[in-house]
Amino acid sequence: MDYHFKGLGMAKKLAVRTGEIKFLPKGEKGTKGAQMRSREWAPGVSYLEGKDSERYYDIVLYNKRLYLCMRSHVSSSVTPQEDVANNGGNWALAQDWAFIATKLLLAERIKAEQIDTANLVARVLKTAFDGPRVEIAGSMMQFFGNVAANIRFGVNEAGYAVLEYYDNDGRKLYDLGPNGITQIPVSAEYWATARYKKLSTDSLPGTSDIERLFQRKEYKQVAYSDGTDYFKFYSKMVGPSYEYPDKHQKVFVSKNITANYIPNGWYVDTPSSDSPNAQELMQVMVGDTGRRLTSSDIPDLSPYNEAVYDYGTIYCRQIMQFAGGGVVDTVTAYWNG
């Protein structure tokens, strides 16, 4: 096609080029890659490896470890840990694979360009799942040994800077807080030997053990050789807490907190030896009025106690009832010397 322009007595012919334009049909949208799905492992669940036709690839947590699904399957009773150990092929231990740096970091919701290491926010940071590690949460940092957190420091819930030390059982030993350093009192465990004679309450009439105790009157004459050695346990104490609170001050048949308790029953202390002067008895002051004393004079005088009169010497001895290794009841016996 030619074009002519006329004007000012001139005519000019423009060059002509002919071309062809083709419109290509729009191609189909490519399939979207599988997305990461994380959850705790359980039997009887369908897990996916992330093939082209699958929407997800699965990562599971089992026994504090992460595992990547390598083959789509429905889980049985075989755990990921057992599958890896036996080369079953369904799972791979996550820590052993580069997918942590590829599939995890390049997943749709965690793109590498979205991670700003100059402004990274995490709720909890751990250097390991268990064993010796450091954990950071909020404004507190904790240092763990093999058992428990032994050091804890930072700013506590009240807004105070603290530095605390703990033993392996979680008991606080030292506290450097707003009031200065505080040492938590610690007492070591120990055993005390106690010698008791068990009193009989058998083969006597009466409606109660106490009534039968006063009928038999074994408490009056007690020799060292009548007794048996038992052992009272005092638990280690850290601050206000006992290491074995349920065993503290319990009486055992041997120096072992797994041993049997002192048999249930009524007991009295024995003298320190069998010498005639070793009978250790409490005495009550008297006024030598000769009258019979009542509970108005002696508040803990049992109604089953023998008659006691206000003259001469009045002796008394405490009788203890043991059950479950501890004293559950006491009664005091009085008599004239």
With respect to residue 115, please indicate whether it lies within any of the assigned structural domains.
no
DSSP code, position 296: T
Q: How confident is the model at residue 6 (pLDDT cuts 50, 70, 90)?
A: very low
Written as six digits, the tokens of 121 are 């926010």
What distance in Å separates the CA atoms of residue 172 and residue 287, rounded to the nearest whole number? 56
Identify the pLDDT of residue 35: 84
The domain that holds 80 is classified in CATH as: 2.10.10.20
Choice between 4 and 123, residue whose per-residue pLDDT is larger: 123
pLDDT of residue 208: 85
What pTM, to 2 d.p., does this model score?
Answer: 0.47
pLDDT single digits (tens) 43-53:
999 999 988 88
Confidence of residue 123 (pLDDT cuts 50, 70, 90): confident
Q: What pLDDT shows up at residue 116?
A: 55
- The DSSP call for residue 84 is H
In this predicted structure, what is the pLDDT of residue 71? 93
**Residues 154, 202: one domain?**
no
Q: In this model, does residue 226 exceed pLDDT 80?
A: yes
Q: Model confidence over 88-120: pLDDT tens digits? A: 999 998 765 444 544 554 444 444 454 555 666
Q: How far apart are alpha carbons 131 and 235 in whole angstroms?
A: 28
- Final residue in a domain of this structure, among 74, 105, 136: 105
pLDDT score of 117:
57
Which pLDDT score, from 0 to 100, does residue 112 have? Answer: 47
Judge whether 39 lies within some domain: yes
Tokens of 314: 């009045």
State the pLDDT at residue 101: 46
Give yes or no: residues 169 and 281 share one domain.
no
User: What's the pLDDT score for residue 277?
Assistant: 47
Q: Which one is predicted more confidently, 42 or 96?
A: 42
Instruction: Tell me, yes or no, whether 211 and 285 share the same domain.
Output: yes
Same domain, 63 and 200: no
Number of domains in the chain: 3
Residue 4 lies in a domain: no
Among 155, 182, 209, where does a domain finish? 182
> Mean of the pLDDT values across residues 136-158?
85
Produce one character per residue of 252-281: b if its CB has 16 or more CB atoms within 10 Å, e if not: beeeebeeebbeeebbbbbbeeeeeeebee
- Identify the residue with better confidence: 9 or 252: 252
Clarify whether residues 138 and 169 are in a common domain. Answer: yes
Lowest-confidence segment of 45-54, 164-173, 248-257, 282-291 by average pLDDT:
282-291
Verify that 213 and 268 share a domain, yes or no.
Answer: yes
Residue 42 lies in a domain: yes
**CA neighbor of 138 nearest in space, from 122, 149, 120, 161:** 122
What does pLDDT average to over the chain? 79
CB-neighbour burial class of residue 43 (10 A; exposed 0-12, middle 13-18, buried 19+): exposed
Comparing CA positions, the residue from 202, 278, 265, 203 lying closest to residue 228 is 265
Closest by CA position to 190, among listed 113, 125, 127, 242: 242
